[in-house]
A and B are shown apart, each in its own frame.
Chain A
């Protein structure tokens, strides 16, 4: 045991001397491990970011909301056939759903509101300032009760304003903040796609997806106003929130029934509309996540493998270069196991130093990214450090074991004669 310990300490010492003596070589060899550890970090970040993003967007949209639309979000394969044969969803159908809800006793549904995107996204401007690519959407007064986000300042527009197609707007936090950095936006006039409207309310801040896509970059206008100024066909989607404590599936069936009534469909007819939910979004996200994790593991594994091959190669070179040293050590009493420990430690220490450099670069990257995108869900945890270091050691052992073993099998007498 004591012998093992002193040999172990000796091999660490040799390994560090070798590292210092061959800095460039060691650094180049380490690259694979450095990239591998960086890949581990990035993979962790992507996973965490998707999780966080999905959770956040679910919070923003609300997981208790169904989206009635002409086509399904999922069935991309036969979407065209459906689109062709299906009637468009009309704005009025939202009111019809609300009527049916109020007629139904103990309805599983709570309220519906239309949601029409004004494509393409346009500017919202004041005299001095402008915000580009604002998502402009038309809806009615019911939206306030369906959306999870709260009005932070002012109010939502009223039923009267909507039915009279008044030029009012409720802004997302980022838009209001950008246009009116030093004062309240309420009561001010802004131009949405060039048309003057009055700001009546501003939403609370909701954050961003991945720290990149803001949830607060929108402007809500009365749908009738939108239709008045923009007559091109824009697909209507209807958001329907289910009643508190209602069963999601039952609510879904009730909504299907209501829509079939509105569309006057007969019994054997297939639904000519689609009920979408954030479940499908979640599923999609988890698919993306799975793909990412497989790809991530692939990339990480591959770069670590390539790194391992490089280190194996350099360890072979090291064994070859130091054949005489191996012979000398054997002659003065090193066992085979001593030689194995020595070269294994050399490979492992290259990897460990590479791992530390990789983690350090990742940390620097984290600090940098945090400066640019404060919301970016970068992962840098103890778990990651442990994972990175474990990967490094495993790679070191993997790449060092064969050259170390070969070094230990060298015949001492032959090794001593080696030039």
Chain B
């Protein structure tokens, strides 16, 4: 039985009838997102699923303020994202959103600590404070003893932990993870998911994009996309 999801409190993200059309020329328009309504509430734990081409990556980019919609509204903590210029979007990405990518996207030549520090550099935080915060973020993900290692000296799971620490270091409102376990074996993937569960229990809001059912099973809320539209938005029935 489908149980519709009901959020609690003021939504962090409120998007209405959001559209993203890619014009490929000659009446050949791709409707990547075709009128999506979605509210994300504090401490949500959402899994966005859908077959490839369903628009989940586009939605992810949109939610992460990496991309702007061609139609519809987007409010982030009550502020109109569609009206923001590039610097304001950069500020939102820096302060409010923590990204975790499938392929980690770490700086290969930088140590763990420096990788984690990076968002704070763009926030203009002085060095000593940066290092302190970065260090405690590393400890949060269980990498307190790996701060001087470079990515090539770490295992895949550890690398993704670095990426999670980097996403957490600015205390963002939302963690956005795009196939966070896609490049990991299932055992390591499970460990990363445990980390997300723990972060959720500590009060973080988490959005996962995945196509793996057992990863999605960790989330409390399940959204299924098809052809740029939300097909299902429900309390996760697979959670166990």
Contact = CB atoms under 8 A, between A and B. Distances in A.
- Co-assembled chains A and B: yes
Interface of A: 2-7, 10, 17, 21, 324-325, 327-338, 411-413, 416
A345 to B, nearest CB: 14
Contact of B93 (A333, A336, A411): A333
Contact of B124 (A3, A21, A412): A3
Given A2-B126, A17-B109, A329 B118 contact: yes
B86 A335 contact: yes
Contacts of B87: 335-337
A412 B101 CA distance: 13
A7 B122 contact: yes
Contacts of B93: 330-333
A333 B91 contact: yes
Interface string B106-126: 010110000000110111111
Contacts of A17: 109-110
A332 B166 contact: yes
Interface of A is mostly: helix
Contacts of A411: 67
6 contacts: A10-B121, A328-B101, A331-B99, A336-B86, A336-B87, A413-B67
Interface string B75-91: 00000000000110011
Contacts of A337: 87
A331 B118 contact: no
B6 interface: no
A412 B66 CA distance: 6
A2 B122 CA distance: 10
Nearest to A3: B124
A238 B121 CA distance: 80
Contacts of B167: 332
Contact of A333 (B67, B90, B101, B105): B90
B90 A334 contact: yes
A142 B212 CA distance: 110
A324 B103 CA distance: 10
Interface in B128-154: 130
B61 interface: yes
Contact of A21 (B109, B119, B123): B109
Contacts of B110: 17
B228 interface: no
B93 to A, nearest CB: 5
A338 B122 contact: yes
B19 to A, nearest CB: 16
Nearest first, the 6 closest Cβ-Cβ pairs linking A and B are: A333-B94, A3-B124, A333-B122, A328-B105, A413-B61, A335-B90
Contacts of A333: 90-91, 93-95, 119, 122-123, 170
A3 B123 contact: yes
A3 B105 contact: no
A329 B166 CA distance: 11
A325 B130 CA distance: 21
Residue with the highest number of chain B CB atoms closer than 10 Å, among A7, A324, A333: A333
B239 interface: no
